[in-house]
Amino acid sequence: MNRFYAAKRLKPLGLIFFFPLLISFSSLGAQTVTGAAGLADPLENLEGSARDIGLGSAFVGVADDTSSLYFNPAGLSGLKAPDIELNHNSYLAGTFQEILSTGFPAGDLGGLAFSLDYVNWGTLDLRDVFGNSQGNYNDSDVGFTAGWGREWFQGFSAGLALRVLQDKVVYNLYTSLAADIGILWQPASGWRMGISYLNLGTSVEGSSLSGDLKAGGSCLLTLNPRFTLLTALSGDWTPGSVGNAQAGLEGTLNHQWTLRAGYQMPFYNNQIDGLTGLTAGAGMKINAFTLDYAYLFFGTLGSSQRISLDYQFDLPKEVVEVPVQMPVTVIQKVPEATQPSKDVEVHFKINSDPLSQGQDLEKQGKLQDAIQLYIDGLKDNPKDVLLWQALANLYYRNGNKVNAVECFQMVIQLRPDDQALKDWLVRYKAVTDSK
């Protein structure tokens, strides 16, 4: 196996531990290839976004966005809204990577994600077995990944990702198929644990893909209504090779401003002087756009940078129908009465039912009249939970989400055992606060 291919077929953070092999025979901006295919594909373990790298790649137990596709596809089960993301990764020696990814919730099916990867390894010096120059060539690799994750029962998700990988080496193309599997467990609110195995697949020219077993966990702490702190720990192990440990921190203010720090520690001597394995990053969210940045320290070899731009589509959120127990109205036909005598006065008293009257107005499309009727009814009976429920549902249908939430809160005060409504309010506020 040639030395450059051994170095270039590594995940980004893992690359720092093998750069001495590369530097030993390459100059800045030009590398040398002396053989054909290597053991592993360079796109097998390339993480997706600047957020992942900013957390030190300790993401297998976080897995809460589209980047779960690269670490633990089970996390795709929790996607809340469709998004599209562009990632640019700038490496050493003139190499770079571009990733276009998208993910979206799929209802009862869970969540789906897709990505297209491109890596350009720069200009390479081609030499024969005797070391004689054979000119230069450009080396690039592409890959397509599709992933799916689904929550199978409360707090437990599983997922699968499939990839088609193609390497270009000199004039040869090498194609392989790979698969990732993962599970994610949420034992309690804010706690997540995940495990995945990456790169199950076909061989490349008789050489097996390098598998990667990952495991880790995370904890999201809400320190106050404006600030959250995410902590993550993980480890990975390549069969027949060595392992690494990762740790990451992410602090978010007002669901808008984010700072990150991470560290990846190898369980061996990487023989690189200076600060290595440390990552730092920041992010900001402006309306539907999120911009993330990560900086990677490679010691005496230099540094690398990643930039991610994500757009989240503002589609209607999941509407949870809150069941309303309507009162049963029994209409009795009054039998025809005999003609009363002139000395008898007959008085009929008609009971007012604002709930049923309002429902009739709703059926006629007179929504504003129905709203006013419910409000008038609540003035007379402010503890009528069914009227509060009907008013809340009508506000929500009419697009007045603020008033709807206030009315739902009144329902909870009057009916504190309505756990379904409580859970919906928590999820709804979490989604609106994150926008």
Q: Where in the chain is the domain with CATH 1.25.40.10?
A: 319-435
**CA separation (Å) from 358 to 79, 215, 369, 374, 382?**
37, 55, 8, 7, 16
CA distance linking residue 70 with residue 63, whole number of Å? 9
Query: So what's the pLDDT on residue 3?
Result: 29
pLDDT at 179: 93
Predicted local distance difference test score (pLDDT) of residue 433: 67
Q: Which residue has the tokens 């093998």?
A: 18
Structure-token pair, residue 53: 């790298």
CB atoms within 10 A of CB 379: 7
Q: Hey, what are 336's tokens?
A: 């025809």
Provide the strand spans (E) within 155-256.
156-169, 172-188, 191-201, 212-224, 227-237, 243-253
Q: How far apart are CA 215 and CA 198, in angstroms?
A: 11
Please report, as a single letter, which amino acid is at residue 203. S
Beta bridge partners of 116: 100, 144
Look up tokens 């997706």; give the residue. 48
Scored b (16 or more CB within 10 A) or e, 277-303 reads bebbbebebeeeebebbbbbbbbebee
Residue 92 · residue 204 · CB < 8 Å: no
Q: What is the pLDDT of residue 139?
A: 79
Superfamily for 3-312?
Outer membrane protein transport protein (OMPP1/FadL/TodX) (2.40.160.60)
Tokens of 77: 């089960």
Q: What is the pLDDT of residue 82?
A: 95
DSSP state of 352: P
Q: What are phi and psi of 192, to 5 degrees?
A: -140, 140
> Is the CB of residue 296 less than 8 Å from the CB of residue 279?
yes
pLDDT of residue 316: 54
Instruction: Write the class of the CATH domain 319-435.
Output: mainly alpha
Q: What is the mean pLDDT of each run of 10 residues along the chain (435 residues)?
A: 33 33 31 33 58 92 94 94 93 83 93 93 76 77 94 94 84 85 94 93 74 93 90 89 89 94 84 82 94 88 88 65 39 44 48 79 86 87 89 86 88 88 83 67
